[in-house]
Amino acid sequence: MIQSDMSNVFNTVCDDFYVNLRVGTQMNLPHQRETLLHFFEQIQKSYPEMTRFRRNEQNEYTLEEDRERDSYRWLCIEAQRLACGHVNPTDIAEALKLHATVLDHAPYALGLSMVEIDYIDLLFGFDLEFSGNHDEIVAESLFAESPLSALLEESGAKAMDFQPTITVALTEDCRIQARIDVVTRTNSYQVRTGDYGSEVISVYLIVRRFWGDKVKESFETLLSGLAERADALTHKYVIPRIIQPIRAAIGSRS
């Protein structure tokens, strides 16, 4: 079962925590004016504060709440992906309500069919602010005993690109997978000059279900299963073995 206080626990170990849903499709999603507006209007009935509508140069359409708030929701329709997220939700159940609402309306408003789905995934994201060399922090906290950090022993060497991505299959058929991404935002200019901005190190846990054979579960069952798996993996591995060591390395600089 999903813990009701889960997001409160997660928010204590990072500066921002968010839960994103992504549905990848084999075919292009509809982008006709009437279809998009109808879909967004249906979502607005449940979330009336999602009023900021935008289209970017890639013809991706976004509906979102005010991003200046500490907590906000967003929804995006891309060419072959439907995505939504809740930043700093009160609890995980609150975030999942948005995702469930989007999945409820997508088959009717967008014509989304189970047949065309490539994957569905749930992302737990953690942002940790740090003004300094992000890659140095990751190297120190996650690669201290690893042979992969051997080049740092070279005289004058500085960490430049330590962004591990690890993917594992959670089932024998490899249709359910989990991935951890550690994303840094330090560039060579900053390393060269020592002029660092206040950016975030991001840690993503993504639990993905690839379609393959016909999926018999409902969207609701799939979403619940992904959330429970992500919850368990985060408590067991992500927080104690990734988030907390990074936080400790950041704390050692202050």
Can you give the pLDDT at residue 3?
Answer: 45
Q: Which domain holds residue 20?
A: 6-251
Can you give the pLDDT at residue 214?
Answer: 67
What mean pLDDT is predicted for residues 167-172? 96
Count of domains in the chain?
1
Order of strands, edge to edge, in the sheet holding 165-169?
Answer: 52-55, 61-64, 72-77, 81-87, 16-25, 117-130, 199-210, 176-183, 165-169
Task: Give the Cβ contact number of residue 252 at 10 Å.
Answer: 10
C-beta separation of 132 from 198 below 8 A: no
pTM of the predicted protein model: 0.94
Beta-bridge partner residues of 207: 122, 178
Mean of per-residue pLDDT scores for the chain? 93
Q: Is 58 helix (H, G, I), strand (E, B) or coil?
A: coil
What lies within 8 Å, CB to CB, of 148 at 6+ separation is none
45 belongs to a structural domain:
yes
pLDDT, tens digit (0-9, with 9 covering 90-100), for 10-28: 888 999 999 999 999 999 9
- Give the pair of three-digit tokens for residue 193: 């000059």
217 falls in which pLDDT band (50, 70, 90)?
A: confident
Can you give the pLDDT at residue 107?
Answer: 94
106 belongs to a structural domain:
yes
Q: What angle do CA 245, 249, 254 make, to 5 degrees?
A: 140
pLDDT exceeds 80 at position 4: no
Can you give the pLDDT at residue 1?
Answer: 43
What mean pLDDT is predicted for residues 188-216? 89
Task: Give the Cβ contact number of residue 139 at 10 Å.
Answer: 23
162 belongs to a structural domain:
yes
185 belongs to a structural domain:
yes
48 belongs to a structural domain:
yes
Can you give the pLDDT at residue 8?
Answer: 57
1 belongs to a structural domain:
no
231 belongs to a structural domain:
yes
pLDDT exceeds 50 at position 5: no
23 belongs to a structural domain:
yes
Residue type, 176: I
pLDDT exceeds 80 at position 9: no
Q: What angle do CA 238, 176, 179 make, to 5 degrees?
A: 35
C-beta separation of 145 from 153 below 8 A: no
- Give the pair of three-digit tokens for residue 30: 């509809």
Can you give the pLDDT at residue 253?
Answer: 87
